[in-house]
Amino acid sequence: MSLALFPLNTVLFPGCTLDLQIFEARYLDMISRCMKKGESFGVVCIFNGQEVGTAPDGYALIGCEAFIRDFKQQDNGLLGIRVEGGRRFRVLDVTVQKDQLLVAEVQWLEEMPDRSLEEEDADLLALLEALAEHPMVASLEMNAHAEGQQALGNQLAYLLPFTDADKVDLLRIDDPQQRLDAIQMLLDELQGELFT
């Protein structure tokens, strides 16, 4: 499967919403093609390099498919789009086109069956509901009431202030329960840092 890549300084998760401003010609062309053909593109996190200019030096080889859900002309004249995360993928091979657009051969990652929320997930669910009340999170219009462990883990991993490397590690996890366990460990570390 061939997928155009959009390297960003963020990690997108399935079911999560991301607002982007598009101004580089290669990405305007990519977005136009995706909209005409009803196709998606891939978001990968940049580890080295920048979002603009030439192709970044280093980026995550695990990413998330992005579907365009809305678009509008911004007040500054740039194209604004809202995307929603789809399937997770692994980058197998990349070619750089003449316009510096990265096109990857990707392998879709299997999603394990979702599990119902358990009693021990109550604290994490309460945290997600508290996050949903923040104006910046509310503006993303994500459904912040998770029905299962998959959605709860994806939304918390996306919204919490973990490092990009930690978020990529969370995106890599297939099992929803393991992702929630890893999030809890990262939260415990964050709390430990706050009180030391």
Average pLDDT along the chain, 196 residues, taken 10 residues at a time: 93 95 91 94 84 62 96 86 96 91 94 90 93 86 80 95 95 95 94 69
* 20 DSSP β-pair partners: 81
Domains of the chain: 2-108 (2.30.130.40), 119-194 (1.20.58)
Q: How many residues does the chain have?
A: 196
74-110 burial, b at 16+ Cβ within 10 Å, e below that, comes to eeeeebebbbbbbbbbebeeeeeeeeebbbbebeebe
pLDDT digits (tens, 9 = 90+) for 176-193: 999 999 999 999 998 877
Integer angstrom CA distances of residue 144 from 11, 31, 134, 147, 185: 18, 27, 11, 9, 21
Amino acid at site 20: L
Instruction: Please give the pLDDT value at position 142.
Output: 76
By CB neighbour count within 10 A (0-12 exposed, 13-18 middle, 19+ buried), where does 132 fall? middle
